[in-house]
Amino acid sequence: MARNREGLVLLVDVGPAMHSVLPDVEKTCSLLMQKKLIHNRFDEVGIVLFGTQETENELARDIGGYENVVVFRNIKVVDELVVDSVKRLPRGPVAGDFLDALIVGMDMLIKMYGAGQRGKKRLCLITNAASPTKDPFEGTKDEQVSTIAVKMAAEGIKMESIVMRANASGDVDEKIIEENDHLLSLFSSNAIAKTVYVDSPLSLLGSLKTRRVAPVTLFRGDLEINPTMKIKVWVYKKVAEERLPTLKMYSDKAPPSDKFAKHEVTIDYDYKVTEETSEVIAPEERIKGFRYGPHVIPISPDEMETLKFKTEKGMKLLGFTDASNILRHYYMKDVNIVVPDPSKEKSVIAVSAFAREMKQANKVAIVRCVWRNGQGNVVVGVLTPNVSERDDTPDSFYFNVLPFAEDIREFPFPSFSRFPASWKPDEQQQAVADNLVKMLDLAPSLKEEVLKPELTPNPVLQRFYEYLELKSRSTDAALPPMDEAFKRIMEQDPELSSTNKSIADAFRGSFEVKENPKLRKASKRMLRDKPAGSDDEDNHMITYNATENNVDTVGDANPVQDFEAIISRRDGNDWIDRAISEMKKRIVKLVEDSTTDEGDKVLECLLALRKGCVLEQEPKQFNEFLNHLHELCQERKLSHILEDFTSKKITMIPKSEAADSDVADEKADDLTVKQEPKLES
Amino acid sequence: MELDPEDVFRDEDEDPESQFFQEKEASKEFVVYLIDASPKMFSSTCLSEDEKQESHFHIAVSCIAHSLKSHIINRSNDEIAICFFNTREKKNLQELNGVYVFNVEKREGLDRPTAKLIKDFDSIEESFMNDIGSKNGIVSDSRENSLYSALWVAQALLRKGSSKTADKRIFLFTNEDDPFGSMRISVKEDMTRTTLQRAKDAQDLGISIELLPLSHPDKPFDISIFYKDLIGLNGDELTEFMPSVGQKLEDMKDQLKKRVLAKRIAKRITFMICDGLSIELNGYALLRPATPGTITWLDSTTNLPIKVERSYVCADTGAIMQEPIQRIQPYKNQNVMFTAAELSEVKKITTGHLKLLGFKPLSCLKDYHNMKPSTFLYPSDKEVIGSTRAFIALHRSMLQLGRFAVAFYGGTTPPRLVALVAQDEIESDGGQVEPPGINMIYLPYSNDIRDIDELHSKPGVAAPRASEDQLKKASALMRRLELKDFSVCQFANPALQKHYAILQAIALDEEQLRETRDETLPDEDGMNRPGVVKAIEEFKESIYGDDPEEESDSGAKEKSRKRKAADAGDYDFVELAKTGKLKDLTVVELKTYLTANNLPVGGKKDALINRILAHVSK
C-alpha cells in the first residue's frame, strides 16, 4: 500500500432493529465511497454485514461459529460498483453480534495487510448495539473485548463505532444496551477507538468522516518561553474547510472526430497599455505597483526583496493573560492545534504542565508565530488549553489567530440603555424571552447535545455528490431536492417547537413587529420581495430571483422594470450608477433604431429614468443626458420624439426636485432655447 | 518575484461574499479637519502617554497626522482638507482673515491625501509659527469672527460632489468652550447667532459637524455653553457625548479613529426567530484582516497602469472561449459535466435569512469551533418596527442565562451553522470598548474538523503528565509572565507597517526608510528580569532535571530528510539532461535532484526541468 492509502472495513448491522435507519446508513456509506473515488482513488474497502440470514466468512469456514456474518465485499480498491452496491444493502432478519463482526473484520485486515501499515487500517462499525453478544468460550466478555482491543492496538488498527440511538423506546433491553456501551468503552481505553452516539439521520450523516485528509504538520519546531527554555511542538490544522472539488474547465471546441482532443482550457493573460491596442507588454517591461493614496507606487522585485519584512521561523511566548480578556469573537481564522513532539517526553510534560495550570487558573497564553522561514508576515494568537480526557492522549493547546490593530474597525454603537423605552422590552416581555432561551434547548442535560458541529454534515457538499452520482448516470439529470435529513439544520426541529409551542406563541404575541410604513417605495418593495417569515418559500424565491439576484442589465423586453429593479438593489453601491447608465444606453439604442411606434417606449423609459434620478438625487446625470438626447434627435431629425418631449412635459430636473441640480426651476424646460443656436449652425 | 495570476483572479469557486467583506470603497467620505490655532491651544497642556506635558495644538495635530496615514492606507478614495483658524496669515479662496487652508502642490483644497501632504503635515509644528502663525481671530471691535469664517471656508471646500454619494463631515478641534465669552453682551449675542446660523446652513446641506474638544486638567470643556447648539445636540445626546471629552492624546486618537470610520452596514439580515416572527438586523464586519492591497501592474517605462486581460483558450483548437465555461469532474471513468448555472444552483440551498434553531450553554462552544472572522449584529427598526425590542430581550436573556443561540445562516457560501453570542457593552474612560450586540461566529461542519488528538494517542500507553511540583513551577512562571492590561488589538501588524513604510519612502524619494518597530516580539527587558529568569529556570529544571541540554530523542530518528538526500543518486542527471530525457522522470524524481542540490522545488514540471538544466550546465 502506498504511503497515503487506507484500508477500511465497514461493519454494518443490517438486523431488524436497523431497518428503519438503513437508508441513511446507505447514503452515508455511498458518500464515503464517492469521495474516496474522487479524492483517495487507491484506498481499499471491504464490507461486512451482520444480522443476515446467511453466514459467509472465512472464519466460519475455517473454525466455525461467526454466524450471520457475511462478507459483502472483500477488501479491494474502491470502484464504481461499490458506490452502487452500498446503496442496496440486503436487510437481515437476525439480531447480529457486533463482536463477531469485529473479529471477522479485524481478521480480514490482518490477513490482507499483515502487521505493516500502522494507522492506515480502519474498522468502522455501524450498529445500534442493542442486541446481545454471545458469551466467549472462556473468560468473561470484558476479557475477550480487552484481548481483541489490545490485539487491534498492536496491529495498528483504528476503530470507529457509530451507534444509533434514534428511538430509546419500547422493546429495547436497557441491560443489554448498558453492557454493550461498556464493551465499546473498553475498546476506547485499549485501542485507538472512538464511539459516537447519534440520534438523528442528520448526525448519522455527519458522524462518518467521509473525507479522509492525511494530517500534515504546518510547523515543527520550538515553542520558545525564552531563549533558554524551549518546548518542541508540532502544529496541525484542527479545522479546515472542506470545499467542493475543483472542477476543471472543459472545452467542446474540438471537432467530435478528434479522438485525441484534450478538451482542456488554458487561461491567457495579456498585459496591454490600453484596452484598445493589441500591443502586448513583455514581462520584463512590467513592474508591480501598490496603491498609496491617489498614486500607484512602482516597486521593483529587488527593492521588494531587500526591503521587505523578514521573519524567522518560530513560536515565541509573549505572556499569559486572563481568559476573559480574549473575547470569543476575536478569533480570526480556522483553528490550529499545537501538540508536543511525540518523541520528546519532556516536551509532552512541559505542555501538560502549562495546559493543566492554564485551565485551572483560567488563563491563556499569547504567542507570536512564524510558521515558515522567510514567511512575509507574523501572526499573534492565543493558546488555550486542551486538557485530554483520555489517559493515552497527550495534552495540547488550541491556537487561534488574534486581530492586529489594523484589522479592527471600532464603530461606536449606541448603548441599549439609551434607547427610548418603546424600543426596550418590559418586564413581561423579558420574562417571555428568558423562557424561550431556556426552553428552546438544544443541549438538554439528560439527552445528547443536538446540532453538534462535530456531527453536522455540510448540506451543499452532500447535495453536490448526490447530483454528481445522478449526472454520471444521465447527463441531464435534474438537481435532487435537499435531503429531508437536512431540514434539521435549516429549520427548527418540529418536535422541539411543538413541545414549546406555547412559549413561541407567547414570544410572538409579546413582540409585535410591523413594516415601517414611512419607508420609501423602492425599499418597501424590497421588503415585500423578502417577506419576513413568509410561508410560501417557493413563490418567494421566484420574486427574489427576478428582482434581486439576476437583474443587472436593462434588457429589451421590460426596460422600465429592469431599471427599477437595478436602481433599488442595495447589495452594493454601484447599482444606482449602473442602472442609470444601462438605461441611458437602452434609450439611445431605442432612439437610434427608432421607428415611429418605438416613440412611446422611449418616453416610458425616459420618464422612468427621470423618476429614478429624482429619487436618487442624481439630477446632473439626467439633465446632461436629456441635452444629449435632444441633440441626437435633432441630428437625426426625429421630430416626433422632440414633439413628445414638449407634449409630455419631459423637462430637466430643476432645483426644486433635487437640491444638487444647477438648473433653475424656470429654466427646466429650456432645452429648445439652449439648443437653438446649434440647430441653426 | 513573478506573481501567480491565479492569485489575482481567484477561481470563481472562491467565496463570492469575500468581496463584500473586503468592503468596497464605493461611497466616499469628504472630511475637513478644522483646527483651532489660537494662542490658548499652544499654552494649554495636558499629560501625554509618557507623562510629558503636551500642548493641545500638538495633540490635535498628531491625531490628524495619525488619521491621515490611516486614510491613505485604508480609504484612499476619501478626500480631505486641513484648515486652521485663528491664524495670523490667511490662505483661502474667500480671502477671509484668520483662516488658513493647509495644502501642498498638485492638490486641490479638498482632495485625496497624498504622500507629500502627509510628509509636510508631519513637520507642521516646526514651521507653523513662521509660516502660518497663531492669532486670536475673534475680535469684538472689528467684528471679526474666525470661527464663523472657518465654518464658511469648510463648507465651501465641501461644496464638491453630491451629498448622496459622499459623506461630508467637519471635525472641529478646539479647547475654547466659550469662544465669545469676552465679548460685550450685544456683540456676543450677535456673533453667537450668526455662527450658529452658519453651522445650521452647513448641516442643512448634509454636512455633519463633529466636535473634538480638548479639556484643561482643572477645567473641563463645558459643551453646554455654546457648542451643544452648534453641533445640534439635545438633552439625551448631550449625556452621550460628554464622556468622550478627551484629555489624553491616546483617548483623542481613539476618538478620532472611531469617528473617522463611517459605519458601514455589511449586510442586512432577516432573523427568523420563530414561525411568523422575523426581525431586522444589520451585520457589520468589525474584524477583517487588513492586507497590503492589490497589486497593480505598471508599464515600467511610463509607470502607468496597464490593462490586464484574461482570456480562456481552448487547448485543442486555440479558439477563445466565452464565459461561462462548462466544468467537469472526472468520475467513474467519465467526465461529468456541469454548467455554471447548475453549480450555482447546487450551492443555493436556502434563502439568505438567519434562522434560529435553539439555544445551548456557552460551554458547548469550543475553542476550535471557528472558521473565519465573526460578524457583528445590531438591530434596526428602520424597516421592521419592533426589531430592536425583540433583539434586546433575547440579548439580555442570553447574557443572563450564559447561553448562545444556534442558527442557520444562508448568507454565506456554503451556508453555515452559526453561534450567536451576546456581547454586553464594555466601556472605559476612552469610550466604548465593546459595543453591545451579538457576534455571529461561523461554525465548522463535521468534515471540517480534524481528529489530531487521536493521531497522537498511543493506546494503552499513558501519556506523560506533569507532576504536582511541575504544575506548581508552571503556575509560578505564569504569574511572573502575566501580561498587564493586555488588549487584543494592541499590536500593529509589523509586515503591514513595513510595507507602508517602503511605499512612503519610495513615494517621497526618501533615502532613509522609516524605522518600523516589530511590536509583536517578546519584551526582552521583561523577560530578562531576574524574577522571570529565575521562574523559567526553576520550571525548566523541574522538567528537564539537571541535564541542561536539550533532551535526546526517545523515538525514531527523522528519516525523511535523509531519504531525500540519498535518493538523488539513482539517476545520472547529467546524462539525462544531455539527452533531453529529464521529462521522462516524474516530478518526485526531479525533486530529489533539486533537494539534494539545495535548489527550490516549487513550480510546474517544466520549471523544475529548466532549473535542473540550468544547474547541470553550470
CA atoms within 13 A on the CB side of B324: 13
| A241 domain residue, yes or no | yes
| A2 domain residue, yes or no | no
| A450 domain residue, yes or no | no
Window 99-138 of B, Cβ < 8 Å to A: 111-115
Q: Check residue A608 and give left, alpha or beta (phi > 0: left; psi -120 to 50: alpha).
A: alpha
Predicted confidence at residue B14, as pLDDT, reads 35
C-alpha cell at B354: 438567519
Say how far apart CA B382 and CA B397 lie, in whole Å: 24
C-alpha cell at A624: 446632461
Residues of A with CB below 8 A from B29's CB? Answer: none
Say how far apart CA A81 and CA B223 lie, in whole Å: 80
| Subunit contact A239:B437, Cβ cutoff 8 A | no
C-alpha cell at B420: 450567536
Instruction: Decide if the complex's ipTM is over 0.95.
Output: no
Say how far apart CA B439 and CA B422 lie, in whole Å: 6
What are the structural domains, with CATH classification, of chain B? 27-260 (3.40.50.410), 275-285+352-448 (2.40.290.10), 468-478+488-544 (1.10.1600.10), 560-616 (no CATH)
* Number of domains forming the structure of chain A: 3
Predicted confidence at residue A367, as pLDDT, reads 93
Clarify whether residues A174 and A246 are in a common domain: no
Say how far apart CA A99 and CA A148 lie, in whole Å: 9
Residue B317 contacts A, CB cutoff 8 Å: yes
Say how far apart CA A589 and CA A629 lie, in whole Å: 11
Clarify whether residues A269 and A352 are in a common domain: yes
Task: State the average pLDDT over residues A319-344.
Answer: 91
| A460 domain residue, yes or no | no
Residue B37 scores a pLDDT above 70: yes
Predicted confidence at residue B401, as pLDDT, reads 92
| Subunit contact B270:A511, Cβ cutoff 8 A | no
Instruction: Report the DSSP beta bridge partners of residue B295.
Output: A290
Residue type, A672: T
| Subunit contact A346:B403, Cβ cutoff 8 A | no
Clarify whether residues A572 and A631 are in a common domain: yes
Residues of B with CB below 8 A from A416's CB? Answer: 392, 395, 425, 436
Residue of B nearest to A331 (CA): B373
- The residue from A176, A207, A238 where one domain ends is A207
Residue B588 contacts A, CB cutoff 8 Å: no
Clarify whether residues A201 and A221 are in a common domain: no
| A17 domain residue, yes or no | yes
Clarify whether residues A251 and A359 are in a common domain: yes
Q: Would you call A494 exposed, middle or buried from its count of C-beta atoms within 10 A (0-12, 13-18, 19+)?
A: exposed
Residue of B nearest to A249 (CA): B327
Candidates A288, A344, A416; nearest CB to B3: A288
Residue B182 scores a pLDDT above 80: no
Residue A237 pLDDT class (50, 70, 90 cuts): very high
Residue B254 contacts A, CB cutoff 8 Å: yes
Give the model confidence (pLDDT) of A620-655 as tens digits. 888 888 888 888 777 777 777 777 777 777 778 877
- CATH number for the domain spanning A316: value is 2.40.290.10
Q: How far is A220 from chain B (nearest CA, A)?
A: 12
Q: Which of B24, B164, B332, B458 is catalytic?
A: B24
Q: How far is B5 from chain A (nearest CA, A)?
A: 8
Residues of A with CB below 8 A from B445's CB? Answer: 206, 242, 453, 456-458, 461
Task: State the average pLDDT over residues A316-327.
Answer: 91
Residue A547 scores a pLDDT above 50: no
Predicted confidence at residue B250, as pLDDT, reads 61
Q: How far is B576 from chain A (nearest CA, A)?
A: 27
Say how far apart CA B93 and CA A673 lie, in whole Å: 34
Predicted confidence at residue A524, as pLDDT, reads 39
- CATH number for the domain spanning A612: value is 1.25.40.240
| Most B CBs within 10 Å, among A85, A247, A577, to test the B interface | A247
| Subunit contact B446:A150, Cβ cutoff 8 A | no
Q: How far is B190 from chain A (nearest CA, A)?
A: 29
How big is the CA angle at B202 (ends B200 and B205), to the nearest 5 degrees? 110
Give the model confidence (pLDDT) of A496-513 as tens digits. 888 888 888 888 888 888
Q: How far is B37 from chain A (nearest CA, A)?
A: 27
Beta-carbon count within 10 A of A20 CB: 13
Q: How far is A578 from chain B (nearest CA, A)?
A: 12
Clarify whether residues A221 and A202 are in a common domain: no
| Subunit contact A253:B316, Cβ cutoff 8 A | yes
Clarify whether residues A107 and A124 are in a common domain: yes
Predicted confidence at residue A526, as pLDDT, reads 41
| A472 domain residue, yes or no | no
Predicted confidence at residue B50, as pLDDT, reads 58
Say how far apart CA B229 and CA B179 lie, in whole Å: 13
Say how far apart CA B533 and CA B536 lie, in whole Å: 5
Residues of B with CB below 8 A from A402's CB? Answer: 488
Clarify whether residues A136 and A255 are in a common domain: no
Predicted confidence at residue A399, as pLDDT, reads 95
Residue B435 contacts A, CB cutoff 8 Å: yes
Clarify whether residues A25 and A131 are in a common domain: yes
Residue B341 contacts A, CB cutoff 8 Å: no
Helices and strands of chain A, counted as H and E runs? 22, 18
Q: What does pLDDT average to over chain A?
A: 80
| A518 domain residue, yes or no | no
| A51 domain residue, yes or no | yes
| Subunit contact A407:B387, Cβ cutoff 8 A | no
* A384 closest CA partner among A361, A400, A360: A400
- The residue from A386, A411, A436 where one domain ends is A411
Clarify whether residues A279 and A169 are in a common domain: no
Q: Report the SS3 class of residue A238.
A: coil
Residue of A nearest to B368 (CA): A335
| Most A CBs within 10 Å, among B294, B368, B418, to test the A interface | B368
Predicted confidence at residue A339, as pLDDT, reads 93
Predicted confidence at residue B259, as pLDDT, reads 61
Residues of B with CB below 8 A from A304's CB? Answer: 1, 502
Candidates B115, B414, B496; nearest CB to A460: B414
Q: How far is A603 from chain B (nearest CA, A)?
A: 27
| Between residues A260 and A290, the one the model is more confident about | A290
Task: State the average pLDDT over residues A501-527.
Answer: 69
Beta-carbon count within 10 A of B174 CB: 25
Question: Distances from the Cα of B387 to the Cαs of A89, A442, B408, in angstroms?
Answer: 51, 24, 19
Candidates B205, B397, B493; nearest CB to A433: B397
Residue B326 scores a pLDDT above 60: yes
Residues of A with CB below 8 A from B502's CB? Answer: 299, 303-304, 307-308
CB contact at 8 A, B274 and A504: yes
Residues of B with CB below 8 A from A513's CB? Answer: 277-279, 384-387, 390
Q: What does pLDDT average to over chain B?
A: 78
| Between residues B135 and B24, the one the model is more confident about | B135
- The residue from A391, A411, A431 where one domain ends is A411
* A460 closest CA partner among B567, B349, B11, B187: B349
Q: How far is B130 from chain A (nearest CA, A)?
A: 29
The label of the residue with cell 482542456 reads: A264
Residue B327 scores a pLDDT above 70: yes
Clarify whether residues A185 and A66 are in a common domain: yes
Name which of A70-84, A273-287, B21-35, B474-488 the model is least confident about. Answer: B21-35
Residue B449 contacts A, CB cutoff 8 Å: yes
- Selection from A14-18, A326-330, B175-179 with the highest mean pLDDT: A326-330
What string of DSSP letters covers B274-341? ETTEEEEEEEE--B-------EEEEETTT--B-EEEEEEEETTT-PEEPSSPPEEEEETTEEEEE-HH
CB contact at 8 A, B134 and B90: no
- CATH number for the domain spanning A138: value is 3.40.50.410
Clarify whether residues A342 and A246 are in a common domain: yes
Instruction: Say which DSSP state A124 is in.
Output: E
| Between residues A598 and A449, the one the model is more confident about | A449
Say how far apart CA A251 and CA B322 lie, in whole Å: 10
CB contact at 8 A, A88 and A145: no
Domain span at residue A615 reads: 551-680
Residue B340 contacts A, CB cutoff 8 Å: no
Task: State the average pLDDT over residues B468-489.
Answer: 86
Residue of B nearest to A534 (CA): B276
Residue B91 scores a pLDDT above 70: yes
Catalytic status, residue B91: no
Give the model confidence (pLDDT) of A41-98 as tens digits. 888 899 999 988 888 888 888 888 888 888 888 888 888 888 888 888 889 888 888 8
| Subunit contact A226:B470, Cβ cutoff 8 A | no
Give the model confidence (pLDDT) of A111-167 as tens digits. 888 776 665 888 899 988 888 888 877 778 888 888 888 888 888 888 888 888 766
